[in-house]
Amino acid sequence: MTDIVIKNTIQIEDADGNVVDEVINRTFRCVMEGTIFQAWLQVTDDPKKPEVLFLNQPWKFDEAGSRVDWGDLAEAIAWFKNRQNHEEG
């Protein structure tokens, strides 16, 4: 199990009408459940549901578009970060 933080920057309009950057950080608990990669979103505004199964990914895809097994959790996390457009730093 590994907790990761996905960072994304979006542009919003502030109270003065200026477009400004806003950084959004989301925390995920990442696990391999058997051969399935799972990313659980940590929810802060709902104490009844502290985490939500955000992604349930049994496979990755090869270059031909065929489904193949994950190598390990680290590979799956790297893929997940890429798919979520995670910004390092």
Partner 1 sequence: MAKVWEYQGTYSNRQTVVVEDARPGNDGFYIDHVKHDKTSLTPQFMKKLNYQPSTTDSSWSFPMESGFNSDYGMNGQQLALSKMTGSMSGIETDAANTSNYPWPGTWMDMTGTLKMGTMNLVSNGTQETQIHSYCNSTYQYIRKWPHMEDSVDLYERNPTAGGTNAAKGSGNGQHSAYLHETVGNDQYVFNWYRSQGNTNMYNYPSYTWGIHYGTFPDAQPSFTNQTFTNMTNEYTIQYLGKSTVDGGHLFVGTRTGTTTSGVHTMVMKAVWTTSYTPTWTEMFSLSTVPSASGSSQGGNNMNNINVVTNCSEVFDDPRGTANTKVFYRNYYDSYRNFHPFVITWDTSTDTFARETDITCNVLSSVHADMSGSTFQNGGNYRCEQQNLQTWTGASLRYVCDMKLDGRPMAKDSDAAYRTWVTYSVGASDPKALTYHSKVEMPSTPRSLIWLNDSHTMMGVWFKNSFGIYSWNDTTGWNQTTNLPHKVQNIGRDSLDRIWYIRPSSKYGSTRPELHLLTPTLPVTISVAPENATYTYSGSTITSYINVSAINASGARIASSVKLVIEGSSMTFSDDSTSKTVTTLTSGELQVATKVISAGFTNVSASIEI
> Which residues form the interface with partner 1 (CB under 8 A)?
10-13, 19, 41, 43, 46, 49, 52-58, 61, 63-65, 67, 83-85
Sign of dihedral through CA atoms 28, 56, 52, 20?
positive
Chain centroid to CA 17: how far?
31
Question: What minimum distance in Å lies between the beta carbon of 64 and partner 1?
Answer: 7
**Least distance between partner 1 and beta carbon 4 (Å):** 15
Pick the closer one to partner 1 by CB: 53 or 74: 53
When the beta carbons of 27 and 84 are compared against partner 1, the nearer one is 84
Report the nearest approach of partner 1 to the CB of residue 70 (Å): 12
Nearer to partner 1, 18 or 89 (CB): 18
* 3-state SS class at 20: strand
Per-residue exposure over 48-78, b if at least 16 CB sit within 10 Å of its own CB, e if not:
eeeeeebbeeeeeeeeeeeeeebeeeeebbe
